[in-house]
Amino acid sequence: MKTIFSGIQPTAIFTLGNYMGAIKNWSALQDEYKCVYSIVDMHAITVKQDPVKLRAQTLNSYALTMACGIDVEKSVLFVQSHNKNHAEMNWILSCSTQFGELSRMTQFKDKSQKHPDDINAGLFTYPVLMAGDILLYQADLVPIGIDQKQHLELARNVAERFNFRYGDFFTIPEPFIGESGAKIMSLGDPEKKMSKSDDNPNASVYILESKDDIVRKFKRAVTDSESSVRFAEEKPGISNLMTIYGVCTGKTMSEIEAEFAGKGYGDFKLAVGETVADTLAPVRDEYARLTANKDYLLGCMKNGAEAALKISDKTLKKAYKKVGFIV
């Protein structure tokens, strides 16, 4: 079986974009692959965090990942900072990463503009930490959104450079991008990705929101001046809603167009909102059940960290030997 690795930051409750673009795919892969999933709290501190809030969000993100379908009996699910090997591998790989490569990372440029008072070294080098996250588990595949392809390409370049210097060692990871829902756009501005950090409270749908709030946000979603439900490049708002509806129902764009032929945007947006809310209802129920048992969650975290450490220890020790350290 091939190995899959993916991680998600615990900086806020997951959006519908996080769910459809990544986590929904995670659970579907558990029976076909060896899956390693992480709450990447070390990445989160590249921007200022409230320590108390970060701890709570990490626990909640862990519970929410389980609620979204990750079975800790099938997959390794752990908190990144619970495995010291990630920090150690980060240094090894930093010495196989070029300054120019990091300076071209678009997310560094974006975050530097958003946080001009805290352009720290970690923000600049965290793609190397991300590469280590993947390579520590010799991952064959990485489920990613389209916007993360640049970071995966860096991981591939670093692995190839290391292998060239020290002999074949790291598996070169390939992207796994779901056929649909890979990139869910903002309801307020369909030209940009749905994001936790959007200033518009109606632009992003969070998967723990109530049905009423979800439906209300979809009713307010930006569309266009036409009235036909049609998937087209010049109709980004409607196309985004059709993508979301398709992910929830399994219907193709042609089937959706036929279903809403002759109907207005109001009917369509209401249908999308209600379908999304109903799709997320089991996730909300399971999250409530899990968070009511903190001891159980902490036990799962401990087991996940031990499993991740066991796997990654082998890779780190071999990497140490490759570069010439005495092990």
The residues assigned a catalytic role are: 111, 193, 196
Radius of gyration of the CA atoms of the chain, in A: 21
> Any bridge partners for residue 8, and if so which?
39
Q: Rounded to whole angstroms, how far apart are CA atoms 260 and 242?
A: 11
d(Cα 213, Cα 235) in Å, to the nearest integer?
Answer: 25
**Side-chain-side CA neighbours of residue 91 (13 Å):** 7
- Cα-Cα-Cα-Cα dihedral of 69, 195, 216, 54, to 10°? 70
CA proximity to 129, closest of 181, 176, 87, 168: 87
DSSP lists the bridge partners of residue 70 as none
248: part of which helix (H) or strand (E)?
Answer: helix 236-249
Helix axes 265-291, 51-67, angle to 10 degrees: 110
Q: Where are the alpha helices (DSSP H) in 40-144?
A: 41-44, 51-67, 85-94, 99-103, 106-114, 121-135
Instruction: Give Cα 97 to chain centroid, integer Å.
Output: 23
